[in-house]
Structure 1
Amino acid sequence: MDVVDTPTPELQTMSLGLYDLVHFALMAAGFALFAYFLYNWASRGEVGRRYRPAVHAGLCLAAIATVSYLVLFLKWDSGFTLTDGVYEPNAEARFTGSTRYPDWAVTVPLLTIELLAVCSLAGRRARNLRATTVAAAFLMILTGYVGSQLVADGRDRTALVVWGLISTAFFVYLYVALIGAVRASLPHMGRAAAVSLRNATIVLLASFGVYPLVYAIPVFADVTPAWLATMQVAYSAADVIAKVGFGLLIHKVALLRTAEDVRAGEDTHPEPVWISNVHESDGVLPELARVSTPAAATIRGEHAPEHDHAHDHDHGDGHRSGATRTASDRG
């Protein structure tokens, strides 16, 4: 065992400037994630049902990450005591990073779900890839946690290297699988959606690369207070890029693909799709004669008429004549 004799990262004495820098980074990241959650919640209906799992995954990870950063901020605030112009760690300091790995263990798999939800894979292939990438993402985080936190409090260089290599194996599989899924999907979507999906993938995979770099710091250098502050800021920035930046690009892909489906007559959407003030598609409602009477009344904003199903069939043509325009009518 090659155990580093310096204190664990969370138990470093912090200068005023470094303490305030981390304080700012945690607060800014938390606000960004909360704003993303509100945006996703408010705009969830803009995306067609086919791509809505991406929105749901984004909402879940934004909520989890927001709570995680709230806990991180509170622990950082209570984990140090100002003494003689420096912040000395107290009993709470050990938990100033306690929620990061549990957060990532859930949100990183959700990021893979978010990406695959706007790809063109379907059926068994989609289910199998989703299962394997979620498992790989979780195991990547779990094995990294063992090396950085459990064995000798993350101060054993040998354990850091061994568990880091195991984590890297899952990391490489995740890269290969997600890039393969995206490349297989690009020919099946319009140019604008393909460009946005490519950009989203680059943002996600590039931000993923920050975590192993920060993980490797204790292998090559002692973790000083400056390094601790760098780690906290880097993790916070990477979280915002991977979750908010990536999520906004995925939302754009979902909108573009919704508009493509409406224009092609493959799906309906109750309102027009606009992206950056560009009109992508009209609002198209289902053909009312093909849905039940109560559903048709709901679409019209009326109360369902009191009659039986046989009467519905007798008046099917009447409903059809008064139906809202469909995708085929617009063609």
Structure 2
Amino acid sequence: MDALHHNIENFAAFPHPAYQLIAVLLMVGYGAHLAFSVYFLAASTQIAPRYRLVPWFSAVVMLAAGLSLFREFSVWSETMVFTGEDWRRDSQEVFSNAYRYANWTITIPLLLAQLLIALKLPRASMHKLLPKLVLAAIAMIWTGLVGQFYEQASIATMLVWGAISTVPFVYLVIAVQKELKAAKGRTPVILHPWLDKMFPYFLFFWGLYALAYMVPAFSDGAAAAVVRQFMYTVADVFSKLVYGLILSRFVLRLSAAEGYAPAAEALGPDWSATEPVPAHATTAPAATAAETA
């Protein structure tokens, strides 16, 4: 591919602090994700069987994201060489953000699936809706992937592909909002505030990816590259890691509300005092994680 189709990081001269900032951001990204894969596996033991796919999927997401970001970090380290004054691309190497898109191709379908499981979507409805969401997610990611190759060659072309990518993104936003509202009919009232807060959280941090995509339209220097990597790292951590924590804590409370004793014990006595278990829910749910999916 022509050099003009490379990412902006390949054309900038990075002062040492800027180079190190990007290296640290990438390291924080892969380190945090890999570390929390263990947490999600451990946390799953306190959650009712029918909801355990939620933390299990988070563990897979952590591993996939961590490994791809480690690859991104390695490429960054291999690509840039110190000239004595600043850091520039080695003429024999190329840095690429395409690894992030490979990461999202794996992780976003899992993020959507675990949300539907946490929302107790009936199996038939899930089997109907999830493929549509996954196809929309893949379309969003891969049209964005095509567009990012033009961030140096043609901003207009990059923006056109970005606009195309926005169409499936809007569909995903509308679908998620609809399912969060519908889930209130299947969720204890005490957990409704969680559902209310999930949508703006989802919208903000998924929208942050779109803003990061737009950075080359405004600047292509070292500062722009640092800002974009910062935005990508923040979006990755909050839309995957923290999102997984939120869903895991949500289904932990849902498990306790349905009478699953290990979940109630994990939440402690304050849970039973302020969020009482319904009188009719005295046994663990019969459904398993596999049955939910």
Shorter-chain TM-score range: 0.7 to 0.9
Please tell me the residue identity of whatever aligns with 1:196. W
Q: 1: distance between equivalents of 2:182 and 2:285?
A: 30
* 1:139/1:170 contact within 8 Å kept: yes
Q: 1: distance between equivalents of 2:229 and 2:108?
A: 18
Q: 1: distance between equivalents of 2:268 and 2:90?
A: 49
* 2:48/2:284 contact within 8 Å kept: no
Is 1:108 the counterpart of 2:108? The answer is yes
Q: 1: distance between equivalents of 2:33 and 2:268?
A: 22
The TM-score with structure 2 as length reference comes to 0.85
Aligned to 2:203: 205
* 1:147/1:154 contact within 8 Å kept: no
Q: CA deviation at 1:284?
A: 5.1
Q: Structure 1 residues 26, 277: closer, same or farther in 2, change over 3 A?
A: farther
Aligned to 2:236: 239
Higher relative contact order (CA 8 A, sep 6+): 2
Q: 2: distance between equivalents of 1:201 and 1:20?
A: 34
Aligned to 2:290: none
Is 1:179 the counterpart of 2:177? The answer is yes
Aligned to 1:163: 161
Q: CA deviation at 1:175?
A: 0.3
Please tell me the residue identity of whatever aligns with 1:205. L
Q: 2: distance between equivalents of 1:47 and 1:92?
A: 50
From the two aligned structures, give the one with the greater helix fraction: 2
Aligned to 2:291: none
Aligned to 1:255: 252
Moved more, 138-147 or 185-194: 185-194
Aligned residue for 1:216, secondary structure, equals helix
Q: 1: distance between equivalents of 2:93 and 2:269?
A: 48
Aligned to 2:50: 50
* 1:186/1:194 contact within 8 Å kept: yes
Which structure's CA Rg is the greater one? 1
The structure 2 residue matched to 1:226, chosen from 223, 226, 230, is 223
User: Structure 1 unaligned runs (5+)?
Assistant: 263-267, 288-331
Aligned to 1:307: none
Q: Structure 1 residues 119, 6: closer, same or farther in 2, change over 3 A?
A: closer
Q: CA deviation at 1:203?
A: 1.9
Q: 2: distance between equivalents of 1:199 and 1:53?
A: 22
Q: 2: distance between equivalents of 1:27 and 1:92?
A: 23
Is 1:278 the counterpart of 2:275? The answer is no
Q: 2: distance between equivalents of 1:22 and 1:276?
A: 41
* 1:47/1:255 contact within 8 Å kept: yes
Which aligned pairs between 1:1-331 and structure 2 lie closer than 5 A?
A: 8-11=7-10, 12-91=12-91, 93-149=93-149, 152=150, 155-219=153-217, 221-262=218-259, 272-275=264-267, 278-280=270-272
Please tell me the residue identity of whatever aligns with 1:275. L
Q: CA deviation at 1:167?
A: 0.6
Q: 2: distance between equivalents of 1:91 and 1:227?
A: 21
* 2:54/2:114 contact within 8 Å kept: yes
* 1:136/1:171 contact within 8 Å kept: yes
Number of paired residues?
277
Aligned to 1:316: none
Q: Structure 1 residues 84, 285: closer, same or farther in 2, change over 3 A?
A: closer
Q: 2: distance between equivalents of 1:272 and 1:40?
A: 18
User: Structure 2 unaligned runs (5+)?
Assistant: 287-293
Please tell me the residue identity of whatever aligns with 1:16. H
* 1:76/1:93 contact within 8 Å kept: no
Give the fraction of aligned pairs with identical amino acids, expressed as a percent: 25
Aligned to 1:325: none
Please tell me the residue identity of whatever aligns with 1:157. I
Moved more, 242-251 or 51-60: 51-60
* 1:33/1:66 contact within 8 Å kept: yes
Q: 2: distance between equivalents of 1:250 and 1:187?
A: 18
The TM-score with structure 1 as length reference comes to 0.76
* 2:5/2:151 contact within 8 Å kept: no
Aligned residue for 1:117, secondary structure, equals helix
